[in-house]
Structure 1
Amino acid sequence: MVPQHEQGSRTSRAVQFARTHHPRKVLDRLPQPRSIRYLRAALVSTGVLAERDELLIRFEEWTSSVVEEVQEPAERQVVRAFTTWFYLRRLRRRSPRRRPMTSGGYNFMRYEIRAAIRLLTWLRERGASLDTCTQSDIDQWLSSEESGRYAIQNSLSWVVSCGHAHGIKVLFRVSSRGQEMLPEADQRWDLSRRLLHDTTIATAERVAGCLVLLYGQPCTRIAALTTSHVTKTHDRVELRLGREPLVIPEPLAGLVMELVRTRQGHAAVGRTDSTPWLFPGAFPGRPMDGVSITARLNRIGIRARAGRNTALMELAGKLPAVVLSGLLGIHVNTATLWAQEAGNTRPGYAAEVARREVSKN
């Protein structure tokens, strides 16, 4: 019979072993090539590991390493505080299920942090710092050829609010929302007809391209669609992009239902119909990211950003901003700006009518 104190010691060692050799801890200690990320996704999809926001974990690891690359201690302290309190605090608070981090957001935040580090280096090389720099210094930075020179608005706003800098801001030049458009007015419809009828194109690309060209959807939002966004009744197919569902006409409705039935990522583990994503990705249990969808559309001759801008411009010229917002899932302020860009007078007319009613009373 094993003495009681020895049993307690064995239990303690077993608990310690389980803690240090848990699959997640073992994987986290390894380098993270594509094969390890695939293995982690497979373990999550089969229930061995709990789901987590993998892009957020990668972003945390990246920020930790990039902060250590900053040589000057004072600059390193500012960059560490900025990444922790401006980005990571906000990202950790939001729900990973309702608002998961996207590849586009991941890349853009890294771009902003790199730009902030370059600004600190640029100031130091000119004998200045955040404490001593003036608006003139910032204006010179903005007129320079430095990469990412306009990606410092968030970092500058944060350092000013925290007292690291004083009396400086970034003045951006306003550009047209419809700046990058399809070159010909009919090209949007020609591309849409091709997607609707060309059976040599994969169904996923056909549906994604139509969502861009007909409904002005960004590829990051398309990537986040699940089968729960699609509703099939006896006489119609509905797709929920915003607050109100859209009735999808044929033949696009048939393509959407075909995608629901046949969707499959590049790599399947277990049942291929167990994933909720409308556009499954290369990793088990994960969706395709927006960058991959953009690349696939580019390969079939569709420029996603230009196509989306063209669609939004035309839709905003026909629909009131509040309707556009509810149907397409864009913020009402954004919809209003698109309506103004498209020359839609409905928002202004409605505001004028409201003012008249108030003045009468």
Structure 2
Amino acid sequence: MRLQLEPIVTAVANSEPSSVLLWLSRSGPRQLLSILATGSGPVTHETLDNVTDSKAVRYLRAILVANAVLPERDEFLARFERWLEPTLQQVEDSDERRDLQSFAVWFLLRRLRQRSARRPLTHGQMVTAQGNVRAAIRLLDWLHGRGTTLSACTQHDIDAWLASGGREKFDARNFLVWNVDRGQAHGVAIPPHRSTRGQARLPEPDQRWRLSRRLLHDTELATIDRVAGCLVLLYGQPCTRIANLTTAQVTDTGERLHLMLGTRPIEIPEPLSTLIRELVVTRKGMAVVGHTDTHPWLFPGGLPGRPISPMHLTGRLGRLGIPTRAGRATALMDLAGQLPSVVLSRLLGLNLNTATLWSQEAGNTRPSYAAQVARMAHRKD
């Protein structure tokens, strides 16, 4: 064995031997380790990037990062960057490819990097950016089919594009706005997609409270599901945000427990505060090979040192009969009807504009109070 592979072997071998043997019995890990064994030099992120992306590659990378063999990096940002170049190379027209690259780099990638500097990207943010690029490529192809180009098209063309069906057509909006702002397109626009905010609420008036009571008091349910479900139903949190909560966002004085969901801590009442305390102590990831408890995540997942997948968390709650989208919408509609949008934004981590829209949807009649609070906070700052 060459010297550069010793840290990898050590990281893997620290796990239960039976688990390692089971992992090695699969073709993906065996092929990956064979590729690394026949290579040269140290194994880096770039080394793994040059191997065909697979579940085995992602799992081994997580093992190496969790065991400090490789440095931390934002994987969803890196995956978008790796995906972008070959995707753009499929565009045959060089001018359009250059325009797409400018949009992808200076609008999408720039925004993703800014978000990544604050907190790791989510899978949804990566998929949304990819959808913007795909929609832009499809729009250009569709315009070619009509015998026109982006610079020559009219609003009639854009309306026909939207009328051709599919929610993804609206994903080209950012690309179109980008080109209009730079004079590459003229007099055309794609309106924001009509919001379904509040339309997917729970059908029964007391369903939210009935589900919440079950989560709070049914001791046969897993603590992870009880806490996550309550955060959806009581505080309107999406699974993408719940999955990325850390223990640093929990402040426990013994008498009171606070959770930081936005920019202001929320005091969590009993019995939910007891459940969160239990989760902090008992949280265990599902990773077997390369498992580590040295991580910040409140909801650790199946990859070593990584949080639970939002899709996996959504599936867990769904199996308990908790519809996360409808549950969150019901919670936000209720909270938005009681709290000013500024307070809603600070406590729940919503963008202020989003919080305002929820308040309007809920028929909150106190916008002037919200504006007053915002002005007072501004003067204090």
Shorter-chain TM-score tier: 0.7 to 0.9
Letter in 2 for 1:280: P
Partner of 2:48: 27
The reply to whether residue 70 of structure 1 matches residue 70 of structure 2 is no
Residue 353 to residue 145, structure 1, CA distance change in 2 (3 Å)? closer
TM-aligned CA deviation for residue 271 of structure 1: 6.8
Structure 1 or 2, whichever has the larger Rg, is 1
- Bigger Cα displacement from structure 2, 167-176 vs 219-228: 167-176
TM-aligned CA deviation for residue 176 of structure 1: 5.2
Letter in 2 for 1:144: S
User: Within 1, Cα distance between the matches of 2:193 and 2:106?
Assistant: 28
Residue 176 to residue 44, structure 1, CA distance change in 2 (3 Å)? closer
1:1-361 correspondence to structure 2 within 5 Å: 21-96=42-117, 98-146=118-166, 148-172=168-192, 174-175=194-195, 177-268=197-288, 272-348=292-368
Partner of 1:3: none
1:261-320 superposed Cα distances (whole Å, 9 cap, x missing partner): 111121056674311100112111111232222222222211111111100111111122
Residue 175 to residue 242, structure 1, CA distance change in 2 (3 Å)? closer
TM-score normalised by length of structure 2: 0.82
Residue 86 to residue 310, structure 1, CA distance change in 2 (3 Å)? same
User: Within 1, Cα distance between the matches of 2:216 and 2:232?
Assistant: 13
User: Within 2, Cα distance between the matches of 1:61 and 1:260?
Assistant: 35
Kept in 2: contact 1:45–1:269 (CA 8 A): no
User: Within 2, Cα distance between the matches of 1:162 and 1:256?
Assistant: 50
TM-aligned CA deviation for residue 79 of structure 1: 2.0
**Aligned residue-pair number:** 337
Letter in 2 for 1:232: D
Partner of 1:4: none
Residue 270 to residue 289, structure 1, CA distance change in 2 (3 Å)? closer
Kept in 2: contact 1:229–1:241 (CA 8 A): yes
User: Within 2, Cα distance between the matches of 1:351 and 1:227?
Assistant: 33
What value does the CA root-mean-square deviation take over the aligned residues?
A: 2.4
Residue 352 to residue 63, structure 1, CA distance change in 2 (3 Å)? closer
Structure 2 gap segments, 5+ residues each: 1-38, 375-381
1:173-213 superposed Cα distances (whole Å, 9 cap, x missing partner): 64452111111110100111111122332211111110000
User: Within 2, Cα distance between the matches of 1:23 and 1:273?
Assistant: 23
Structure 2 residue matching 1:149: 3-state secondary structure? helix
Kept in 2: contact 1:204–1:259 (CA 8 A): yes
User: Within 2, Cα distance between the matches of 1:25 and 1:109?
Assistant: 23
- Percent identical pairs in the alignment equals 57
Partner of 2:23: none
Structure 1 gap segments, 5+ residues each: 1-17, 355-361
